[in-house]
Amino acid sequence: MSTATPAGPTRIAAVRGAAPVADNTAAAIFAATEQLLRALVRVNGLAPGRVVSAIFTLTADLDAEFPAYVARQLGWTDVPMLSAREIPVPGAMPRLVRVLLTVSGVPADVRLQPVYLGAAAGLRPDLVDHTPRPGEAPAHLPPDAAPATPLPPGVASVAASGPRPAGEPAPSREDGARRVRIALVGLGQIGGSIGLTLRGSARWHRVGFDADPDACASALAVRAVDEVAPSLAAACASAELAVVATPVDSLPALIEAVATALPPGAALLDTGSARGPVTAALERAAGRGIAAVGGHPIAGHEGSGFGAARAGLFRNAAFALLPARGAVPAVVERLVRDLGARPLLVDPATHDQALARTSHLPYLLACALRELGDAAAAHGLSGPGFRDMTRLAASDPCMAGAYCRANAREVAAAWRELAATVESRIAQLGEDGVTASAGPSPA
């Protein structure tokens, strides 16, 4: 990426900023960090190519996410970054994100302007607000540096975009007008993470819908979606792709409704962890002229709801794809790659066999182990092994219960295999114990 070089002697300079964070959630950390970076860029007329490094710190009461993820998603792909946690100091201001940027090409007579937003301004009462008014360029911009271009509604990129893949042309105004309209049906951990990961991309226009109005409001507030639709039909009416990211037990009915609302030829992708009850619904959708694809991003954690969503959730993760008919449409493959995931073509039976053994049965075992050992753990008689083995038991029981029920046959088969293996190992322990305790035979 290239930027104009200021006239006259230049140097590398540093600039600081800080912003308050509403609460210890990924969404709140991302929102505060983006607001801070946008302000630093606007006030100082920066472009990513001039940022040499970025060091983020969070107060000790913030540990839900790394603020550096936001900068990556907003185009700072070549900037070395570090995220650190601050040492708690008595009386310090709580819930703050701070950043220290080093910037190249700064004229020797120019001082970069620090930015302290909201309550954080109390940390620097010596600063005067030099934020330019709409349409006004910062007074200290070098003569040949362009002022930051006002962002169109719904576009959340910071200054210039990041480097494009080799051979990909720069987007034109017409390209921006033809962004792919994607309907995100369900704004929990998976749907919300898709929206957050695509934030700042000029390729996608994200329309969100969720039965929970709080999830819609939260997603819109942190720009995980460009707009919220008033109904499922409105979200899908002119979408080129709809992603249905809800619990498995709700997917068949929702797939039917989405397929009816989508225009002919549009694509539909679900994110269900079990394929059994979903495959038939996808086949019916394909019969209506919809390019229906089963999907399962093999990523996530035990959190639930939009508060558990995070940008970068799918980075380097496998994304299982199961087209109902024919090949995976290009728009679905493009989405998976833009999420940073690896598309993996698989058939439904193989998928459900694998997930029963690597996800669904482990969840049930974690719940059983927690019930078995909770009393001992309450008395301090447990270590990190018990904590690690029971982590999955904290998953949303409605969602986890749904995919276990949907894949009950394979889960039962996996349990029989595991039970036989464990019984064999326990029997072996008993035999070894008898042999060891018996000692040598008398002469």
Q: DSSP for 337-360? A: HHTT-EEEE--HHHHHHHHIIIII
Strands of 318-323's sheet, edge to edge? 227-228, 204-209, 180-185, 241-244, 267-270, 291-297, 318-323, 342-345
Q: What is the pLDDT of residues 207-250, one digit of tens each?
A: 999 999 999 999 999 899 999 999 999 999 999 999 999 999 99
Residue 207 class from Cβ within 10 Å (0-12 exposed, 13-18 middle, 19+ buried)? buried
**Residue 116 forms beta bridges with which residues?**
18
Say if residues 272 and 250 touch (Cβ distance below 8 Å): no
Rounded-to-5 percentages of helix, strand, coil across the chain = 40, 15, 40
Identify the CA nearest to 352 among candidates 245, 271, 273.
273
Q: Quick one: tokens of 63? A: 């540990």
Q: In angstroms, rounded to a whole number, what is the distance separating the alpha carbons of residues 21 and 18?
A: 10
Residue 176: per-residue pLDDT = 41
Of 358, 296, 341, 287, nearest to 321 (Cα)?
Answer: 296
Residues 6+ apart with CB under 8 A from 394: 302
Q: Under a CB-based contact definition with an 8 Å cutoff, are residues 333 and 343 in contact? A: yes
Residues near 165 by Cβ (< 8 Å), separated by ≥ 6?
Answer: none
The per-residue pLDDT for 168 is 33
Dihedral of CA 239/245/247/252: which sign? positive
User: What pLDDT, on the 0 to 100 scale, is given for residue 147?
Assistant: 32
Is there a contact between 46 and 103 (Cβ–Cβ < 8 Å)? yes
From residue 213, give the alpha-carbon distance in Å to each of 148, 209, 216, 230, 253.
Answer: 34, 9, 5, 10, 20
The C-alpha atoms of residue 235 and residue 242 are separated, in whole angstroms, by 9
**How many residues would you count in the chain?**
443
Residue 57 β-bridge partners: 84, 98
Q: Which two tokens stand for residue 142?
A: 């070098």
CB 99 within 8 A of CB 222: no
What is the spatial distance between Cα 389 and Cα 334, in angstroms, rounded to a whole number? 36
**Which residue type sits at 123?**
L
Contact (CB, 8 A) for 351 and 275: yes
pLDDT-flagged residues of the chain (< 50): 1-7, 128-177, 436-437, 443
pLDDT score for 433: 58
